[in-house]
Structure 1
C-alpha cells in the first residue's frame, strides 16, 4: 500500500531510528520491493531492455553478503490483485505513469526507472538456484510478511512505508539504510550496518498513543484511502522546532491534542467532522477509512507452514469464487513457479500487462504476444467459461482496457484445467508448440535449454509488426558466452537508443514472457531457460548497430568457438522453420486460388511474377541444401552439450534429482 510521504518525512527525524549491526537472524524480505530497488540502485542499463546477466551477479552478491553474516533470508512476493478493487484507482494511475515514463525514456534516452520485462523472472530464477526460500502470496504480500515477522519475531527488509505502521516485535529495516555492501567482521562474527525502526520509537517521539497509529496511517492516505479536503498544516504547533511543518506533522499534532479517551473509530469520525456536511458521502468515507485502518491488523501467518514444511496456504476464496482455482495450482503459485497473473484471470477475468521502452507513435509491444495469452486464457477458463479477459494495455500515451477472447489449439480444446496435471506430457507439449507454430522435430537438434527461446524467436519473426530483421543480432547475443560478450563490449561504446530496434526487442521479450508463463501453466513441457543468458540489452543493440553500419561480426564469432557453433545451430533452426512456414503459407494461398480462380487480369499479372517466384524458390532450395549440410554439425553440438550435462549431473547427483523432479512437482 504505502503511506504517502511517510518515508521522506521520517528521514527528517532520524533520531527515531536505531543504528545497529545486524546479523545471525532470520530476515523477512519484501521480494517485489527488493527486486525494484536492487536493479534501480545498481546503475544497470534500463533503456536497452535489460542487463540480466549483470543483474544475476548483483542478486548473488546480495545473498552472499547476508549469508556471510549468518542472516537467513525468506523472500515473499506479491501474487494476484486484490479482488475487492480497493486499489483499482491507484493501479490505473500507476499504469498511466509507467506508460508516460516509458515513452520519455525511448524519446529522450533518459533513465526513467522502467523495470525490464524479464527482471522479475530472472530474480526468481536466481533465488531458486541459490536455494533461497521464496513464497508468492495469493494477493498483496504486505500483511503476510508482517504477520509472519510478528510470529517469528524477526525484522522485515523493505522500503514500503506500510511497515512503519505494522507493530513488529523485530522491527523494520528500510532497504535504503541497509548497507549490505559494507559487511564488517568483529572477531568471528560479521554484520551489516543498518537502521532499525520500531513503532514504539515513533509513538514516543511524536507523543502518539500506539492504538491510534493505524488511524494516523488511514487519515494520512495510502493506496486504498485518499482523504482530500482537510488542511492538516493548520494544526502545526508554533515553536515545535522541526525542520518541516507539513501535512503529516500537522496530522500528528491534531491527533496528539485529542483526549486520551478517544478510540480509533471516534478519531476517524471527528476527522470527518472537519470536512463539514458531506451528507451521504460521509458514511462511505468512514467505511473506507475503517477498511484502511484494518489493513494494519495482523492475524495468523499463512506462510509459516509453507516455509517450514512445504505445505501451501489454503486459498481464501469467497463463496462466489468456489471452484475457480483448482487445488493443484496452490503449491506452484506459492512456490512462484506459476505466475500470480493466472489468479487474476481466474478470479477477475483481467490481465495486467507490463510495458517496455516504447514511444507513443508505435503500437504496444504486447499486441505481438496476444495470441499466446489467448491460448493461456483458453486453458484457464475452458469452453464452459469462455468469457473475454480484459487486458490493461496502452494506445499511444493512454491506458486502455481491451476485451480479449480465449482461443484453443487443436490439442487444448479437449483439455480441462482441473485435470491438467494428469494430461500426457506429449499433449501438453503439443499445446505449447501449436501456440508457437513450431514442431518438435524442428527443435530436436538444439540443446533443451534453448528450444523454447528458439521457438519464441520463430514466432516473433512471423508475428511482430513491423517484421524485424534483427534475428542475427538476437541469436548471436543469445549464443555468446560472458567471456566473448565482454571482449566485444570493451571495444564498442553504447549507442543512443534506436527506437525501432528497442520496440522490436520489446516485442520479443513480451513473446518470451508470455510463452514462459504458458510453459509454466502446462508443467514445463519444455525446460525453462535461464533468462539471464538469453538477452543482454546493450550487447544486442551494439550488434545491430555494427551490422547496419557495415561492420563484420567475425570478431565476435572468432572469440569463442562454442559460441560460434551454438549461433550457427540457432540460425539454422530458425531459418528452417521460417522456410517451412513460408512454404505452408504459399500452399494455403495456392489452395485458396484453386478454390477461387482469379480474374483474367490477375492471371496476366501472375505471368509477369512467375520468373521472380521461380528465382525465389531456387534461392530457398539452395538455402535448404546448406541447412541440411549443417545438420551433422548441429548434432555434434547437441551431443557435446549432453555430454557436458551428464558430466555435471554425475558430479552433483542431488542437483540432478531436483532438476528432474522440477516439472513433475509443478503439476
Structure 2
C-alpha cells in the first residue's frame, strides 16, 4: 500500500510527533522497511554485489541496542503477491523503474536504491542466529503488523506511510524508523533507552483538524496503491484547497489541500459523494464503480484479529485464507516453513498466480538478464510445485524493458516419485540426489568440504558450466577465496584493501558474472529449502563481499601479486585448494563432454572413460600446498596437510598423482637448504595460491 507524499508532508509538520524515550517494551517491526533502512542509510555499497558481512554486523548491532534497552523485537515480513492481483499494475510500474535505475547505477556508478540480491537472505539468517522471532505473512504484512501491535498494545517500527493511517493504540502508536536513534542509546543499565519520535493518529487529526473516522477516507481519496483517483480521466486538483503558505512540493500541496477540504465532513460516505461531485459529468455506473473502489481502499485500514499472535507465543501456524479460488493450491505442510521464513514466498506466487517476479540487480541494460543462467534450476522448482509441462510467467527484463516470459516446468526422471503434497515426507537421500543432479555434481566430490560450503561450491560448479560468457580464472579464484576464508571483513584487512569506497570504475562484465553467480546460488538455496534441506544452508554473510571480489579480480588481471592467506591460516589455504580441485574437475569434464559431442563415435565402440585433466593441471594445487611449509619443525604437520589434500585427489580418481608429493617436497627442501634466507622471507610474506 502507501500514500504517496504523506511522509514528506509530515516532515513539514513535525508537531505531529512527540519525543519518546523507548525502553522495556515489545516492538513489532516492519521487517522489509528495516532491511532497506539499515542497508541504504548505512552507506553500504549497492553496485558490486553486496556487502553482506558488514550488513550482518549492522543487524547484530541493531538487535543488541534493542536488548540493551530491554526491548523485545518481533519482526514481520511480507510474503507473496496478493492473489487478487489488485497491486499488479503498481508492482509492474515499480519494476520498470527499478530496471532503469539499475542500469543508471551500472553506467554512472551512482547509488540508486537497488538492494543487492542476497540481502534479504542475510537478514533472515542473521535474525535466526540471534534468535529474534520472525514471521513471514502469506501476503502483504501491513495489516498483520498493525493488528499484532494493536492486540499487544505496543508500537510499530516502520517508515511505511500506511502506518500513519492505521488506528494504532496506546500512547505511542508508531515509531518512524527515520527518527529511531538506535545507534545513540542513552542512559545505563535498566534505564537505557532509545531516543525517538512517537506518532498517533489522534495527534495527526488534531494538527490537521479532521475527524478521526475520516482518516482512512483521506488515504483512499489521496490514492494509495489500490486506489488512484487522481489518475482518472477527470482528476481532482486538491492543491487548489491548500491555501496560502503551503509548501513542500506539489505532492504535499495536494495532500494539504485534500486535508483542508475534508475538515467539513464527519462521515466518509459524505466525503466520497462530494469528491465525485467535484469530478463532474460522471454517469451513475461510473459513480458506483468509483465509490466501490474508494470503500475498498478504506477497508485496507481495518484491523482484523491478529493471526500472528498465537504463532509468536505458541508456534501455531496462521490459517491460510479460505478463498475458493486458491483453496487447495497450497499444501498444509508448506504453511509452517513459510511462516518461519524457511521457504521463499516465490513459492506462493507460483502456486497461486503461476507467476514469478524476478527482481533485477544493478546491471547494464545491454547485458542479457543474469536470471537466464539459473532458469533451468527454477524450471525444476516449478516442476516440483506444479508438475511436468505446466507454465509459469517469469517477469524479467529484456534490455531496459520489462517482459513476461512463459517458462515450462520440468520434472526429470529422478523426481517422478516426488509429489508436492508429500514432499516433506520424501526420502532425504532422494531429495539430495535431485538437488545434486540439478547442479551437476556428485556427493562424493563434495564430501571433503565442510558441510556449510557444499551447496555454494555445487552452485559455483553449476554457474561455471552455465554462465555466458564464460567466467575467467581471476573471477573464479576471487569467489573461491571469499568462500575459503569465511570472514571477508578480516580478509579485507589482511589484504590491506580499502573499505567499500571503491575507486575503480564499475566493470560491467564482472558485475554481470557475479550477478549470474548470485542468481545460481539464490535459486540453489531455494531449491534446497523446498527439498527439505538435504544440504545445510550456507551462511551467506560469510561467503561473499562484493567490493572485495571486484578488487581481487582487478589486482589479478592487472598482474599485481595478491597475498591470499597469512601463514597461520593453513586450514583456509587447504580449503581453497580443495575447492579449486572440485570446481576445476567438473569444469574440465564438462568441457571434455562438449568436445566429444562434436565427434561421431564409431559403430560398436566401447564408451570412453571420462577424460581426466592433464597431469600439470591437476597437480598444481598439490604443488602449491607443499610450498606452504618449510621449517623442519613443521615437517609432521606439513605431511598431515599434504595427506589431506592427497585424499581429496584420490576421492576424485586422481590417486596416480600422489607420487608428485615426494618429488616436489624433496625439491623444495633442497632449495630451502641452499637458500635459507629466501625460505625465511617466503614464510614472512604469507601464502599466495594464485
**TM-score with structure 2 setting the length:** 0.85
Are 2:283 and 1:276 equivalent residues in the alignment? no
* Residue 588 (structure 2) pairs with residue 579 (structure 1): yes
Paired residue secondary structure (2:193):
strand
Report the counterpart of residue 47 of structure 1 in structure 2: 47
1:295 equivalent in alignment to 2:300 = yes
**Aligned pair partner of 2:270 in 266, 269, 272:** 266
Count of residues in Structure 1 that have an aligned counterpart in Structure 2: 613
Contact 2:182/2:194, CA 8 A, preserved across alignment:
yes
Matched, 1:222 2:227: no
Cα contact 1:351–1:392 (8 A) shared by 2: yes
User: Larger deviation: 475-484 or 353-362?
Assistant: 475-484
Contact between 1:565 and 1:637, CA under 8 Å: does it hold in 2? no
Aligned to 1:516: 525
Q: Does 1:454 align with 2:457?
A: yes
How far apart, in 1, do the equivalents of 2:492 and 2:619 lie? 31
| TM-aligned CA distance change 1:372 to 1:86, over 3 Å | same
Deviation at 1:627, TM superposition (A): 6.5
1:529-569 alpha-carbon deviations (Å, 9 max, x no partner): 00011110011001100111011224546573322121111
Inter-partner Cα distance in structure 2 for 1:141 and 1:364: 29
- The residue that corresponds to 2:239 in the other structure is 233
| CA apart distance, 1:181 | 0.4
RMSD: 2.3
Equivalent residue for 1:486, pick from 493, 496, 500: 493
> Secondary structure of 2:187's match?
strand
Equivalent of residue 468 in structure 1, options 466, 471, 492: 471
**In structure 2, the residue corresponding to 1:74 is in which secondary structure?**
strand
Q: Aligned partners of 1:518 and 1:242: how far apart in 2?
A: 51
Partners of 1:361 and 1:289 lie apart in 2 by 42
Report what 1:15 is aligned to.
Answer: 15
Q: Give the 5 Å matches for 1:65-144.
A: 65-144=65-144
Which among 310, 324, 328 is matched to residue 329 of structure 2?
324
Q: Which whole-Å CA distance do the structure 2 matches of 1:144 and 1:618 have between them?
A: 57
- Following the alignment from structure 1 to structure 2, what is the Cα–Cα distance between the partners of residues 555 and 186? 43
Identify which range, 229-238 or 518-527, moves more after superposition.
229-238
Q: Residues 445 and 635 of structure 1 are in contact (CA less than 8 Å); yes or no, is this contact kept in structure 2?
A: no
Q: Counterpart of 2:543?
A: 534
Map of 2:679 onto structure 1: none
Q: Quote how far apart the aligned CAs of 1:257 are.
A: 2.3
Partner of 1:143: helix, strand, or coil? helix
The answer (yes or no) to whether the contact 1:53–1:536 under 8 Å persists in 2 is yes
Query: Which has the higher mean CA deviation after the structures are superposed, 618-627 or 521-530?
Result: 618-627
CA drift of 1:207 comes to 1.2
Over 3 Å counting, the alpha-carbon distance change for 1:596 and 1:197 in structure 2 is: farther
> Whole-Å Cα distance in 2 between the matches of residues 293 and 454 of structure 1?
50
Q: Alpha-carbon deviation of 1:278?
A: 2.8
Q: Does 1:364 align with 2:373?
A: no
Could you say which residue in structure 2 is the equivalent of 1:438? 441
Output the CA distance in 1 between the equivalents of 2:646 and 2:211. 73
Equivalents in 2 of 1:124, 1:206: separation in Å? 39
What corresponds to 2:263 in structure 1?
Answer: 256
Task: Map residues 370-449 of structure 1 onto 2, 5 A cutoff.
Answer: 370-383=375-388, 386-449=389-452
2-structure distance, mates of 1:257, 1:491? 60
Structure 1: how far apart are the matches of 2:551 and 2:254?
A: 49
TM (normalized to structure 1)? 0.88
CA contact (8 A) 2:69 2:193 kept: yes
Distance 1:514 1:551 in 2: 34
Quote the offset at 1:161 in angstroms: 0.4
* Partner deviation per Cα, 1:199-255 (whole Å, 9 max, x = no partner): 0011111111111110000001111111121001112245x7877771111101111
| Match runs of 1:172-191 below 5 Å | 172-185=174-187, 188-191=190-193
Shift of 1:330: 0.4
Residue pair 1:579, 1:620 contacting (<8 A) in 2 also: no
- CA distance 1:559–1:396, shift in 2 (3 Å): farther
State the match for 2:665 in structure 1. Answer: none
Question: Is 1:620–2:622 an aligned residue pair?
Answer: no
Residues 291, 587 of structure 1: alpha-carbon distance in 2 compared, 3 angstrom cutoff: same
Question: What stretches of structure 2 of length at least 5 have no aligned partner?
Answer: 626-641, 650-690
**Structure 2 CA distance, aligned partners of 1:458 and 1:56?**
26
Residues 455, 536 of structure 2: 8 Å contact kept: yes
Counterpart position of 1:213: 215
Distance 1:243 1:508 in 2: 44
Deviation at 1:596, TM superposition (A): 13
Once the two structures are superposed, residues 480-520 of structure 1 have per-residue CA deviations (whole angstroms, 9 ceiling, x without a partner) of: 23433322143696422101001100110011111100000
Q: Could you tell me which runs of 5 or more consecutive residues in structure 1 were left unpaired when the two chains were aligned.
A: 598-615, 639-667
1:547 alignment partner, one of 539, 556, 559: 556
Choose 108-117 or 552-561, whichever is displaced more: 552-561
Matched, 1:61 2:61: yes
Q: 1:555 to 1:478 in 2, by over 3 A?
A: closer
Q: 1:625 to 1:243 in 2, by over 3 A?
A: closer
> After the TM superposition, which of the residue ranges 524-533 and 265-274 deviates more from structure 2?
265-274
* Cα deviation digits, residues 54-111 of structure 1 (max 9, x gap): 0000000000000000000000000000111111111011101110111011111111
CA contact (8 A) 1:3 1:221 kept: yes
Secondary structure of 2:186's aligned partner: strand
Residue equivalent to 1:641: none
Q: Secondary structure at the match of 1:184?
A: coil
Give the structure 2 partner of residue 604 of structure 1: none
